A and B are shown apart, each in its own frame.
Chain A
Amino acid sequence: MENNILDLLLFPEFILSVGAIAILLIGLFTTKKTFSSTSNLSVILLIVVGIIIYINKNISFAYFNTFFKESSFILFFQILVVIGSIASIIISSNYYKDIKLLRFEIPVLILFSTLGMLVLIGSNNLMSMYLGIELQSLALYVLAAIRRDSLQSAESGIKFFVLGALSSGILLYGCSLIYGFTGSTNFNDIFTSISSLDNLNLGIIFGLVFILVGLAFKVSAVPFHMWTPDVYEGAPTAVTAFFAIVPKVSAVALIYRFCLEPFGDFYKEWSQIIIFLSIGSMFLGSIAAIAQTSIKRLLAYSSIGHIGYILIGLASTNAAGIKGAVIYVLIYVLMNIAIFTIILSLKIKDNYVEKINDLSGLSKDKPVFSICIAITMLSMAGIPPFAGFFGKFYIFIAALEAELFYLAILGVLFSVVSAFYYLRIIKIMYFDDLKIPNYQTNISSKASLILFFSILTITMFIFYPSLIINIGSDISIEFFNN
């Protein structure tokens, strides 16, 4: 059998790991401009990896299905993760230079974390799933605590590490239970060995619940969300941007694949859990964010709320749900890129904006920035002309198709409640008095290009919705045909 080098299994992952190690060595042995050279190299490496992932899409790994898998769903999420990582490296480089946190390990850790996410999105086995999760989260723990001189950063790192290790332990226990009762760790084999059963036995249900708890922790769905606001607030803002944009995507992809692939026939067993997580997240995301004064905490609660909406697509277990989730996740990533680019570049009196009140009267000083924030906030709230509306729209359609009417109604209600705090930011920017007249901006040309593209996509989505919606429906059709 002839093999092209590009056809090798995990070729993108291989390139990424070797490249990350090479960049680590380059960072170690260069003395001048270490940070900017390593972060530029990381961006180039990630672009190459993204292209290779796309080229590799049509290869079937029938023999290797034991550990990894390829499908258009996986391909989409992997490319989205790579794009998110590229964006978060670019938008944060100016911030790191400004606060003099020029450690070349940051882009390297982001690369390793991205590698872990690629692995876990493509995993087809409990073992590769666990290793992917560990590789991803270990790099994230270090990133959260990277600012050593700050007490808050260290606290958030410790908190994230302890809770993350706990959730990994629970997940691993679930894996062992499922292995014990099905005799396999491979997703396909688990599917075949439980397909003969009428009802799942107690051991498998325990394992399923434990793994779902672990994954819910990683996506920060409600009863397991406690770490999110603290970690978002404590970590340096650029790291928070990475946390908000990328790891959620991979965890969402995994929770979808884990529920629908091995346990697709037993959706009755897990759909209640997912519905509970979803309602809880939407509720807390809309209520708890109202009282926040810090922008980062507000965005943390907002991301919890978004996860609630994304989980509706899983709870409805139909093709429309997958389509809605694909569209929603894409738009979620774009909105987060936009808002974090702005937060990472807006300063008052040599400090970056942290509090919501810091934005008061921003429209009089920086009209372009405030219109970008306003568009992003309206989109997050799901107000019609912007992209966020369509994300919620397709998710609710999926819920209605699955006859989960109450879930759709609750979703709309919580979405109205959450509109309050999104609109409050717009009100503060446009109708409050300008307190501090000297806002400064610190935005690189690349970052402003990214901001421009994300805002453009959010606003122009209504004119060309078919571009993204077609991707979504193709993926969902393929997902349910296999």
Chain B
Amino acid sequence: MKSPRIYNRIHPTGNMFLYSFSFYLFSTIAVLSALMVISAKNSVHSVLFLILSFVNSSALFVLLGAEFLAMILVVVYVGAVAVLFLFVVMMLDINFIKLREGFLQYLPFGVLLGAVLLLELSMIFFSNRLSKVTLVEFSTKPIFSDFENTKDLGNVLYTEYFYLFQLSGLILLVAMIGSIVLTLRDRSGVKKQIIYDQVNVDTVNYIEKKKVKLREGTNV
């Protein structure tokens, strides 16, 4: 598992310190900001911390040499999802204090769930130590190439997986059609700008000359 390029670039030169230093730096910030997401009083702040956490995780992906995942994480999660959250939080007037009212009531349930998860994790940990059975027993191991993984993905995405790529495009088209169908409505009484008519306005039809008599005025 040593092939990713960036890891190689740092590692063989013996600069292990820089690698571990950046790993611990980014992961500490990621974990801390994740904690802040759930503990911040102001919900706008917690969304901002969420974005910080995403950015740091994408930096961790870069360290692993998975730069495509890092880009996707920034584009999709930071660019779309988090901004959407931010919009929702700022536009809707949700009283988060009220949402937290039942916290103590649900605490035992949450603790139970956490305990079960912890138990499961520890079981996996110990059973792996005991029986040495790995998940990818039958898998053909991924072949690491010398290119960046963006290039690798691009190479197969538009050749081998071309049909599937087109199909996913069609799915997105259907999603677009669907959202337009379900939300677009023809409202009556909307004053629309019709540029064609505006351009075609003629002085003959729209401007009327009137003689105004002195001291009498005229009706418009």
B: interface residue count bin: 20 to 34
Partner of B164, one of A67, A108, A139, A157: A67
**Chain A binding surface SS class:** helix
CB pair A24–B177 under 8 Å, yes or no, is yes
Interface residues contributed by chain A, number (CB under 8 Å): 38
> With A66-B160, A108-B177, A145-B182 as given contacts, are A134 and B138 in contact (CB-CB < 8 Å)?
no
> With A181-B137, A181-B138, A183-B140 as given contacts, are A138 and B181 in contact (CB-CB < 8 Å)?
no
**Chain B binding surface SS class:** helix
Determine whether A142 belongs to the interface, using a CB cutoff of 8 Å to chain B. yes
Determine whether B135 belongs to the interface, using a CB cutoff of 8 Å to chain A. yes
The contact string, 1 if C-beta is below 8 Å from chain A, for chain B 127-159, is 000000001111110000000000000000000
Determine whether A115 belongs to the interface, using a CB cutoff of 8 Å to chain B. yes
Determine whether A340 belongs to the interface, using a CB cutoff of 8 Å to chain B. no
CB pair B182–A148 under 8 Å, yes or no, is yes
> With A66-B160, A180-B136, A183-B136 as given contacts, are A134 and B171 in contact (CB-CB < 8 Å)?
yes
The number of residue pairs between A and B whose CB atoms lie closer than 8 Å in the complex comes to: 75
The contact string, 1 if C-beta is below 8 Å from chain B, for chain A 132-172, is 10110011011001101000000001000000000000000
CB pair B170–A135 under 8 Å, yes or no, is yes
Determine whether B167 belongs to the interface, using a CB cutoff of 8 Å to chain A. yes
B37-76 residues at the A interface, CB under 8 angstroms: none
Determine whether A128 belongs to the interface, using a CB cutoff of 8 Å to chain B. yes
CB pair B178–A103 under 8 Å, yes or no, is no
Determine whether A212 belongs to the interface, using a CB cutoff of 8 Å to chain B. no
The contact string, 1 if C-beta is below 8 Å from chain B, for chain A 67-86, is 11000000000000000000
Determine whether B168 belongs to the interface, using a CB cutoff of 8 Å to chain A. yes
Determine whether A193 belongs to the interface, using a CB cutoff of 8 Å to chain B. yes
User: Which residues in A have their C-beta under 8 angstroms from that of B124?
Assistant: none
5 additional contacts, CB 8 Å, given A67-B163, A109-B181, A193-B138?
A66-B160, A112-B173, A119-B167, A128-B164, A131-B167
Binding site for A on B (CB under 8 A): 135-140, 160-161, 163-164, 166-168, 170-171, 173-175, 177-178, 181-182, 185
11 A-B pairs with C-beta separation under 8 A: A112-B173, A127-B164, A138-B171, A138-B175, A138-B178, A142-B177, A142-B182, A179-B139, A183-B139, A193-B138, A194-B138
